[in-house]
C-alpha cells in the first residue's frame, strides 16, 4: 500500500468517526429535545387538569349560592312581615288581614328553607362573632353565663355555610 493510499484510508476512517460522533451528538440533542417536549406536555396536562377542577368548583359554588342576592334583597321584607305580625289586633277585618300576612310570611319562610336559607336565632348560645353582631352589652342576670346571647334584636340568616346577615344581638357581660 502506498503512502498516499494510507493517508486516504486514514482520512476516510477519520470522516467515518467524525460522522459517527456527529450522529451521536445529533441523537443526544434530539433525545434532549424529546425529553423537554415530554416535560412541557406533562406540565400542560397538569395545568389543564387544575383548570378543570377549579372550573368544576366554581360551577358548584355558583349553583350552591345562586339564591344569595335574591335572599339578601328579601330579608328586609321578612323583617317587616315579622314586625307586622307582632301587632295586636281586635277588629275582625284586622284579624283576617293579619292571617293573610301570616300566610304570606309562612310561604316566604318555606321558600327560603327550600333554598337552604336558615335563620340564625342564637338566644342563650355563646356569642360567636362569625355569626353574631353585638350591638349592646348588659350585665348578666342570675343564671346567665357571661358572653351569652340574651336577646336578638334582628335575626341573622345563612345560606348553606355562608352568612348572609349576622344576627344583631345583646350579649351578657
Q: How confident is the model at residue 21, as a pLDDT?
A: 67
Opening angle at CA 12, ends 7 and 16, nearest 5: 145
Q: How confident is the model at residue 43, as a pLDDT?
A: 94
**pLDDT interval class at 5 (50, 70, 90):** low
In the chain, the DSSP E strands lie at 117-120, 132-138, 149-154, 156-159, 162-165, 167-172
Q: How confident is the model at residue 4, as a pLDDT?
A: 65
**pLDDT interval class at 139 (50, 70, 90):** confident
**pLDDT (average), residues 160-164:** 89
Instruction: Answer whether residue 173 shows pLDDT above 90.
Output: no
Q: How far apart are CA 90 and CA 112, in angstroms?
A: 31
Q: Residue 100 to residues 21, 93, 131, 167: CA-CA distances in angstroms?
A: 96, 11, 32, 27
Q: How confident is the model at residue 7, as a pLDDT?
A: 61
Q: How confident is the model at residue 10, as a pLDDT?
A: 63
Q: Residue 23 to residues 28, 34, 37: CA-CA distances in angstroms?
A: 8, 16, 21
Q: What is the pLDDT of residues 6-24, one digit of tens each?
A: 666 666 666 666 666 667 7
Q: How far apart are CA 116 and CA 65, in angstroms?
A: 9
Q: How confident is the model at residue 8, as a pLDDT?
A: 64
What mean pLDDT is reported for the chain? 87
**pLDDT interval class at 161 (50, 70, 90):** confident
**pLDDT interval class at 36 (50, 70, 90):** very high
Least confident of 42-51, 69-78, 110-119, 139-148: 139-148
Provide CATH code, domain 68-172.
2.30.22.10
Amino acid at each position: 500500500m502506498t503512502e498516499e493510499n494510507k493517508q486516504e484510508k486514514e482520512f476516510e476512517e477519520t470522516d467515518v468517526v467524525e460522522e459517527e460522533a456527529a450522529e451521536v451528538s445529533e441523537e443526544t440533542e434530539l433525545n434532549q429535545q424529546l425529553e423537554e417536549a415530554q416535560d412541557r406536555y406533562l406540565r400542560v396536562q397538569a395545568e389543564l387538569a387544575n383548570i378543570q377542577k377549579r372550573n368544576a368548583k366554581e360551577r358548584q359554588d355558583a349553583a350552591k349560592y345562586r339564591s344569595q342576592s335574591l335572599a339578601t334583597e328579601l330579608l328586609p321584607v321578612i323583617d317587616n312581615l315579622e314586625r307586622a305580625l307582632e301587632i295586636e289586633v281586635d277588629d275582625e277585618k284586622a284579624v283576617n288581614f293579619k292571617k293573610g300576612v301570616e300566610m304570606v310570611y309562612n310561604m316566604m319562610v318555606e321558600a327560603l328553607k327550600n333554598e337552604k336559607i336558615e335563620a340564625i336565632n342564637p338566644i342563650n348560645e355563646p356569642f360567636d362573632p362569625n355569626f353574631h353582631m353585638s350591638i349592646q352589652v348588659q350585665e348578666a342576670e342570675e343564671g346567665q353565663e357571661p358572653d351569652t346571647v340574651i336577646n336578638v334584636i334582628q335575626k341573622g340568616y345563612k345560606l348553606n355555610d355562608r352568612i348572609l346577615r349576622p344576627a344583631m344581638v345583646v350579649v351578657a357581660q
